Structure 1
């Protein structure tokens, strides 16, 4: 199976529950399911990118704050997929490139990559938090159409950016989530028709102080939507550290990562 992992940066569960109308419609039609995840601590972006993509929590990975700028020392799902001869791709924030491809990020060299020797072989990486989500989804679709990746990471930033500017309870934050849902309504049916298994989640949530990093429910509780024939759509209590291993299992990779068996058909 091929997999697309969408990480809607900064999306709190409580906003996902009422703001992502298209994804919720698929769930109500029995074509997907929403699960609650509690993110690892600290509830910060770079540590949780590492957690989602390696299955290792921040206190163990050493990526414990956003300023840790170095290559990961863990084995990511990109490393495992490349080693198995699969094709990897990402349209994502430049911190993902710094974790798995090259660090520090040099835009002229690293913004657009196509190199089968890298863990993320094909990528479009951005470095402005206000980079439009519409452009990011177009970047991802370009990668899918051009390279037919087995694993594609799609990582837009506008929800998080709106949260930092306006806070959890603001119309700007909620509307950023609604716009992401609209973009997914355009692409997700095409991805599913192409045979992809799709997971939509977030790294962390957001609070009314226009930040995150701590233990408040709105900072830690995030959604996990799943779509595709590879999923059971049954009862499950997935953990954030199990996303990497679950994706690896969908891809048919041998791995030693924690994973959620109940999620899969």
Structure 2
């Protein structure tokens, strides 16, 4: 493995894909590319149990800090503020790596160092920033009945552009469309299922490119969607989300229901970065120092 900064081996690379609002049963029934990858042996799938409350901003923070909302303190979207304490983003930067994001602007407010300003932060390319390479969308000025959202293939193309040009050690791709269409059509509606199919088709173009570049790719959701088009509660359709790994480095029983708090320490373990003590859930693989070996 080629040497990196100060003679250390180059850090591995991980991409986390978060499909907002995608419930587990919908992913298994509608996402033909993802499920064919499981059948063909390129990926594995588990059910993951989201933390409570099953709301987006709190769980964006949970996915990247390994702490439940009751522990990190963000309990709803309206209380959005910068995240405090260690996260995947801060750990990667401290280890000498870089991060990239294509996603909702909440991620900038949480982890980008300042509240989001669309005129300043819609595109970021700054190696000194907390998130060095980013493309954010705000979704301001629309409602669910008349939504105009980034096309899924455009989001995937932006993620690929960051990976291709900058190769950040950690890359996040976040899609909001299933959540939006779920609120409009409900978790059982054809519009919601069709949107899951569209996201899946776009990922079919992106994930093989990422794995060919050496990325370990993980795919999950923040929360699910109930049969009335809501989320926030404890029902299985709101808490059970898919978790797929396009890497052979993760280890869990095929029928095990995973703890959402394990995502952050698992990402760091794949990168060879020991996770901080605030991430109390065990990673799905063990961390090793940057010796060139993966977990």
* 1:206-258 per-position Cα deviation (integer Å, ceiling 9, x unaligned): 01221100111111100001012433475454310010000000000122223
* 1:85-117 per-position Cα deviation (integer Å, ceiling 9, x unaligned): 011100010000000114421101111111222
Q: Tell me the distance in 2 between the aligned counterparts of 1:105 and 1:193.
A: 33
| 1:224 and 2:247 correspond | no
| 1:131 and 2:150 correspond | yes
- 1:1-265 pair list within 5 angstroms: 1-128=12-139, 130-232=149-251, 235=254, 236-256=256-276, 257=279, 258-261=281-284
Q: CA deviation at 1:76?
A: 1.0
Gaps of 5+ in 1: none
Q: Is the 8 A contact 1:234 1:262 kept in 2?
A: no
Equivalent residue pairs, number:
265
Q: Is the 8 A contact 1:37 1:240 kept in 2?
A: yes
Q: Tell me the distance in 2 between the aligned counterparts of 1:171 and 1:237.
A: 27
Q: Tell me the distance in 1 between the aligned counterparts of 2:88 and 2:55.
A: 20
Q: Cα RMSD (Å) of the superposition?
A: 1.7
Q: Tell me the distance in 1 between the aligned counterparts of 2:282 and 2:134.
A: 26
Instruction: Provide the secondary structure at the position in 2 that maps to 1:238.
Output: strand
Provide TM-score, normalisation by structure 1. Answer: 0.95
* 1:13-53 per-position Cα deviation (integer Å, ceiling 9, x unaligned): 01011111111111111221110001000000000000001
Q: Tell me the distance in 1 between the aligned counterparts of 2:111 and 2:208.
A: 29
Q: Is the 8 A contact 2:266 2:285 kept in 1?
A: no
Provide TM-score, normalisation by structure 2. Answer: 0.86
Q: Tell me the distance in 1 between the aligned counterparts of 2:173 and 2:103.
A: 6
Q: CA deviation at 1:174?
A: 0.2
Q: Is the 8 A contact 1:232 1:262 kept in 2?
A: yes
